[in-house]
């Protein structure tokens, strides 16, 4: 299991130095992401993906639950009040729940992909001021080591917290 560490750094050069330090600490490059204003080029760094920038995953999870619930209700109504001449089985409830969950997840994730990630709300002002947000997905057992290493070698980095677990699709 990995945990996401957040560091706010003043510029891209500092972010590159921290990335190099993390690579020496055997954190894979694919687990180090950066997010900055649109006009700041992040050459040499992995830019945060749409899954990290937006509420896509949260929207899909919510849509899955709500769509599944509505699908169950629709299935119950169809089974207990069937159309004339149609004999529906209980499997109808399962099918409508699955269809509702899939449709709900799809629609909600599309809507949520246009919304900024609510977990990053605390960093909006720093990013707007031109700072770079680094997101490091570190093994759970090495979180303290990584935090100490960055703090010792890069005092300009603000340790902004640890997410309990990283999202399902980092």
Question: What is the mean pLDDT of the segment spanning 135-159?
Answer: 81
What pLDDT was estimated at residue 170? 46
How many Cα atoms within 13 Å fall on the side-chain side of residue 74?
Answer: 14
Separation between Cα atoms, residue 164 and residue 1, nearest integer Å: 10
- Extended strands (E) in 15-157: 32-35, 132-139
User: CA torsion 139→21→118→52, rounded to 10°?
Assistant: -80
Q: How many CB atoms lie within 10 A of CB 135?
A: 23
Correct CATH for 2-52+116-163 of 3.40.50, 3.40.630, 3.30.70, 1.10.287: 3.30.70
Separation between Cα atoms, residue 4 and residue 80, nearest integer Å: 48
Question: What is the mean pLDDT of the segment spanning 99-118?
Answer: 92
Partners of residue 8 on adjacent β-strands: 133, 158
Q: Locate the domains of the chain by residue range.
A: 2-52+116-163, 56-112
Question: What is the mean pLDDT of the segment spanning 58-74?
Answer: 95
Token digits of residue 54: 């937006």
Residue 48 three-state SS: coil
Question: What is the mean pLDDT of the segment spanning 18-30?
Answer: 87
pTM: 0.73
- 149 or 158: which carries more pLDDT confidence? 149
Sign of the dihedral defined by the CA atoms of residues 59, 8, 166, 35, in that order: positive
- 156 or 5: which carries more pLDDT confidence? 5
Contact assessment for residue 159 and residue 151, using Cβ atoms and an 8 Å cutoff: yes
């Amino acid at each position: 299991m990995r945990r996401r560490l957040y560091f706010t750094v003043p510029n891209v050069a500092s972010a590159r130095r921290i990335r190099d330090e993390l690579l020496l600490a055997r954190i894979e490059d694919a687990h180090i992401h950066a997010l900055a204003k649109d006009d700041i080029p992040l050459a040499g760094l992995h830019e945060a993906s749409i899954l990290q920038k937006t509420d896509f995953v949260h929207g899909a999870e919510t849509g899955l639950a709500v769509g599944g619930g509505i699908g169950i209700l629709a299935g119950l109504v169809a089974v207990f009040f069937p159309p004339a001449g149609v004999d529906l089985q209980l499997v109808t409830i399962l099918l409508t729940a699955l269809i509702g969950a899939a449709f709900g997840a799809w629609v909600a994730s599309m809507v949520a992909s246009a919304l900024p990630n609510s977990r990053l709300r605390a960093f909006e002002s720093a990013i707007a001021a031109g700072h770079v947000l680094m997101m490091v997905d570190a093994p759970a057992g090495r979180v303290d080591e990584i935090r100490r290493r960055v703090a010792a070698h890069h005092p300009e980095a603000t340790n902004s917290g640890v997410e309990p677990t990283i999202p399902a699709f980092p």
